[in-house]
Structure 1
Amino acid sequence: MLAGGGLAVAPGAYDCITARAVQTAGFKAVYMTGAGTSATLGYPDYGLLTMREMVDNAARLVAAVDIPVIADADAGYGNELNVYRTVMEYEQAGVAGIHIEDQEDPKRCGHLDDKRIIPQGDYIAKIRAALAARKNPDFVIIARTDARAVTGLDDAIQRARAALAAGADIAFVEAPQDLEELRLVPERVNGPCLVNIVWKGKTPDISLDEAQAMGFKLALLPGLLLKSVVQTCDQVLHSLKEIRRYPPPHGSGDITPSEGFRRFGAGEWDGIRQAVEAATFDR
């Protein structure tokens, strides 16, 4: 997808339900959001999850869908040795690619204030460690920098260019703060760039067509489903309290129990059950 023309789009998912929804909607890739993964365990996106917790969730998403899974790998969970193992674990889990950032541990969501970054040399050392660890050349290493919020756009672009020069596949400049800054990222980085579209975040709201026209190669929408699910839950629970019966469906349709199970492989498992029963009967 990245080698072809156009913009690859990966909506964010945080569990198998949302990952399957992305695939069912026809998208060709899904992004495992770190913020959403943290939320499923009851935590804010403050770098509180371990590498094992993140990889385990990524592995579940990989098993649930047939499309590539891109995953948040935070700051690599330590120094260069930790980054090396992080790449090993994500690759063994079947993930298609990860992004590693230059924040200090514990990191924070890229659209919050008070972030801190490590020196550029330490950051590039982590990117080199990630590249050294991967065994599959198709495993994508995305170099994310949060420098815009700390040292400014010029430093962020310099770090992105240095990461690509070191061998990273895609540059991810987090949270440009207006349309002009956003436009300058692919123009000045001189390599494949990712745009992170976060509603009400630091980055200005743009359409996918606008992102493609600017020259971005990959778009993530990490909070799209998490935000929608939380809002829907609030609405449905409020309705239940108000009308004191099962609320009518929101949106254009409803999902029956059988349709819900079908989405998650009921037909396949029915076939397996029939085959097992037939084999048992034959014996």
Structure 2
Amino acid sequence: MGSNRLRAILEQPGIQAAPAVYDCIGAMAAQQAGFNFIFSSGFGIAASLLGKPDFGYLTAGEMIDAAKRIAASVPIPLIADMDTGYGNPLNVVRTVEEICQTRVAGIILEDQEWPKKCGHFDGKRIVSSEEQVEKIRAAAYARADSGLVIVARTDARAIEGLEGAIRRGERYLAAGADVLFVEAPQSREELAQVARHFQGVALMANIIEGGKTPNLSVTELEAMGYKLVAFALSGLFSATQAVLDCFATLKADGSTQNVNSTLSFEAYKEVIRLSEHEHLENRFGLKR
């Protein structure tokens, strides 16, 4: 199971880094690049599916369906963004039970009020720590013996300061979370302070180019003591820039001959694993 593979990754020495993806092509590209697990990005899914910012527009069903498709497209484990769990502890139970019927290996649950916002946007609001503790307890209950990894995310740094976020982190770990994710520390020292406080705990960091957290390398975060690091929007930003460049050149030149970032048709066949589907055609007598 994917959850067992993810737990084995967490038990390996050293830091584990991966991109966050928002569709199956991104997942396959990450696997082809050599990553042994991936994250999903609610920010990216909202943008690609709805054309909207990460303001809580996505429903539980949309997020679960997206995670299900992404997880099924690759053999490597997926840690899926599940926002706030979409309601009270009973709603969290339903969300986790549905996730456990998929190949998703882990989920991230945050303590924002619904509708939530991207952790690097201003104007966030959070629920009480008591409420979030119950939601994490509900998630731990609902995963049963599936082995699903629970990543507890707190957005309290923006509202209660770093000390408030640390206090919440302690409570979330005690409630059954496997990994702690303090979102949007605002300096190198704040990242280090979290790591010093939670020595021996599986900690997650989140790097967003241009976001509130400094863009540190995997090596720097490992030296602090972090276990997981997500590059949450790197793929989305890169893909968007490539599409903008391609379409601008097409509009200006009436041709794509001068587009430098276009993947070749043959290379795309490799990403999409065309040969596997051709093999199925041959196996069932469909090849003409």
Provide TM-score, normalisation by structure 2. 0.93
Cross-structure match for 1:173: 182
Q: Deviations over 1:118-171 (max 9, x none)?
A: 111001000000000003453100000000000110010011111111121000
Alpha-carbon distance in structure 2 between the residues aligned to 1:57 and 1:247? 34
Q: What secondary structure, in the 3-state scheme, does the structure 1 residue paired with 2:226 have?
A: coil
**2:227 is aligned with 1:217:** yes
Cross-structure match for 2:155: 146
Equivalent runs, 1:50-65 vs 2, <5 Å: 50-65=59-74
Q: Deviations over 1:214-245 (max 9, x none)?
A: 10000011101000011111111111122221
1:88, CA displacement in angstroms?
A: 1.1
Alpha-carbon distance in structure 1 between the residues aligned to 2:211 and 2:98? 30
Letter in 2 for 1:221: F
Alpha-carbon distance in structure 2 between the residues aligned to 1:88 and 1:240? 47
Contact 1:13 1:30 in 2 (8 A): yes
**2:96 is aligned with 1:106:** no
Letter in 2 for 1:177: Q
**How many residues are aligned here?**
277
Alpha-carbon distance in structure 1 between the residues aligned to 2:121 and 2:234? 17
Letter in 1 for 2:208: V
Cross-structure match for 1:233: 243
* Shift in alpha-carbon separation, 1:137–1:161, aligned structure 2, 3 A: farther
Cross-structure match for 2:37: 29
Equivalent runs, 1:34-53 vs 2, <5 Å: 34-40=42-48, 41-53=50-62
1:189, CA displacement in angstroms?
A: 2.6
Runs of at least 4 residues off by over 2 Å: 135-138, 247-251, 254-259
Moved more, 19-28 or 188-197: 188-197
Alpha-carbon distance in structure 1 between the residues aligned to 2:229 and 2:264? 33
Contact 2:249 2:259 in 1 (8 A): no
Alpha-carbon distance in structure 2 between the residues aligned to 1:247 and 1:14? 29
**2:270 is aligned with 1:259:** no
**2:281 is aligned with 1:273:** yes
Q: What secondary structure, in the 3-state scheme, does the structure 1 residue paired with 2:100 have?
A: helix
Alpha-carbon distance in structure 1 between the residues aligned to 2:269 and 2:98? 31
Cross-structure match for 1:3: 11
Letter in 2 for 1:59: K
Q: Deviations over 1:162-216 (max 9, x none)?
A: 1111121000000000110010112113421100011110111100100111100
Alpha-carbon distance in structure 2 between the residues aligned to 1:49 and 1:79? 17
Calculate percent identity across the aligned residue pairs: 44
Letter in 2 for 1:24: Q
**2:243 is aligned with 1:243:** no
Alpha-carbon distance in structure 1 between the residues aligned to 2:260 and 2:193? 40
Among candidates 172, 197, 202, match of residue 192 of structure 1: 202
Contact 1:236 1:247 in 2 (8 A): no
Alpha-carbon distance in structure 2 between the residues aligned to 1:70 and 1:247? 39
Letter in 1 for 2:94: R
Letter in 1 for 2:16: A
Moved more, 257-266 or 151-160: 257-266
Alpha-carbon distance in structure 2 between the residues aligned to 1:205 and 1:247? 35
**Residue segments in structure 2 that go unaligned for 5+ positions in a row:** 1-8
Contact 1:10 1:221 in 2 (8 A): yes
Letter in 2 for 1:259: A
1:249, CA displacement in angstroms?
A: 4.3
Alpha-carbon distance in structure 2 between the residues aligned to 1:237 and 1:102? 39
Alpha-carbon distance in structure 2 between the residues aligned to 1:247 and 1:151? 53
Q: What secondary structure, in the 3-state scheme, does the structure 2 residue paired with 1:143 have?
A: strand
Contact 1:34 1:45 in 2 (8 A): yes
Q: What secondary structure, in the 3-state scheme, does the structure 1 residue paired with 2:153 have?
A: strand
Contact 1:186 1:192 in 2 (8 A): no
Cross-structure match for 2:6: none
Alpha-carbon distance in structure 2 between the residues aligned to 1:224 and 1:136? 34
Provide TM-score, normalisation by structure 1. 0.94
Contact 2:192 2:224 in 1 (8 A): yes
Q: What secondary structure, in the 3-state scheme, does the structure 2 residue paired with 1:70 have?
A: strand
